[in-house]
Amino acid sequence: MKKYIYFIIILLITIPNSFSQKQIVNKEDGPTYIPLKIYRSIYKKEITKEDLNKLKINGNDTLILVHGLIKKGNKIGVKRRVISERRTYMTLKSFKQHYKRPLTKVDSLSFKFNNNDTLVLVKDYKPRGVSVPYEKVDSTLLEIYKDVVYRKYHSKKSDKRKEYMVLWTEPIKLYFSESVDKEYEQVIRNLSMKISNEIDSLNISFVSNLEESNYVIYQIDENHSHKYSKNMSANKYINFHSYWNKGKIYDTKLEINTTTFKNAEVNKKYLMKSFIRSLGHFYTTSKVPCESVFSNCNGKKITFGETDLKLLKYHYSYGICKRTPLETFEDNHEKAKQTFSQTGRPLYFIHVD
């Protein structure tokens, strides 16, 4: 699985403030003496040996000669200079992947060290895609998310295989087979409209032609037996199978098999549960109430609740690094917290697609 490249972007903008004083030492534009205290607040630097030759004592004030002052009525001000410096640091590994060139001595002089990472300064970097700051999330929701996506808290050793974040990166174009009962179809349509309205980066639309679709829902019953996926050959109820590459889902088949279970109201609830889980290949967890679509218990009441929506929103948020394994996901969160703690600035993620 290809790890997503992330960068620390720091923008430093320094605008020296204008100042005023009631008595003007030199009323003409050009070289002017100003109080040393004001000089330091404007220029943000220490006095040098050369500056000592520019000092002048006036009563209790120490004055220093400066150039570039302008007269404004009975006030003087420094001509404003805006210094905009864009500094982009990326990890040494990301630098080598992005630039495909050996590091120079000049590169090494700009190295910074953040825990176990070596960061390289990249001047005038113009990243492709969208740069989005790290998104903070409630710690309880974050741990639920880790179990739903990565099965972090699943107890069985057989469940500890390495999982990756999987999601749709293209709009979902959903096709209903003519075999699907209208009441089941309406459940999916209602859910899809709600999700599309709530989550900008997850768009679901409906198509009338199978060839235009990338998500097919079909039904198996006494009158219909055609299966749209060989991976569903053993399905006896409601299930789905998704196809993905490098964490990007590109096709899904969802089967409603009513040959054994004919209670439409119960079927609609489990249909909703399967459909939501197929939007990211999510797993069930014991960390949510039994009625949640992500719950691992088989309760009679199943709803797509507030916590379920938050989990889905977070999965499709641009404020996290995409398609990563658990260790990278947790490491990015730790880096983001430390970056903000140490610099007061957020860690940014660059989303190329």
36, 55 contact by CB (below 8 A):
yes
Instruction: Show the 3-state SS of the chain.
Output: CCCCCEEEEEEEEECCCCCCCCCCCCCCCEEEEEEHHHHHHHHCCCCCHHHHCCEEEECCEEEEEEEEEEEECCEEEECCCCEEEEEEEEEHHHHHHHHCCCCCHHHHHCCEEECCEEEEEEECCCCCCEEEECCCCCHHHHHHHHHHHHCCCCCCHHHCCCCECCEECCCEEEEECCCCCHHHHHHHHHHHHHHHHHCCCCCEEECCCHHHCCEEEEEEECCECCCCCHHHCCCCCEEEEEEEECCEEEEEEEEEECCCCCCHHHHHHHHHHHHHHHCCCCCCECCCCCCECCECCCCCCCECCHHHHHHHHHHCCCCCCCCCEHHHHHHHHHHHHHHHHHHCCCCEEEECC
150, 280 contact by CB (below 8 A):
no
Task: Kindly give the confidence (pLDDT) of every residue in the chain, 353 residues in length, as a single tens digit, with 9 standing for 90 and above.
Answer: 444 444 434 333 222 333 333 333 344 445 666 677 666 666 666 677 676 666 766 655 677 777 655 433 334 344 333 333 446 777 777 777 777 778 787 777 777 777 677 888 876 555 555 667 888 889 999 999 999 999 999 876 555 578 899 999 999 999 999 999 999 999 999 999 999 999 988 999 999 999 999 999 999 999 999 999 999 999 999 999 999 998 999 999 999 999 999 999 999 999 999 999 999 989 999 999 999 999 999 878 999 999 999 999 999 988 887 888 999 899 888 888 888 888 877 777 766 55
48-52, Cβ contacts within 8 angstroms, sequence gap of 24 or more: none
Residue 170 is predicted with a pLDDT of: 93
Polymer length of the chain: 353
Residue 183 is predicted with a pLDDT of: 97
- Indicate the pTM of the whole model: 0.65
Residue 306 is predicted with a pLDDT of: 96
Please work out, in degrees rounded to the nearest 5, the angle formed at the alpha carbon of residue 11 by the alpha carbons of 336 and 104.
85
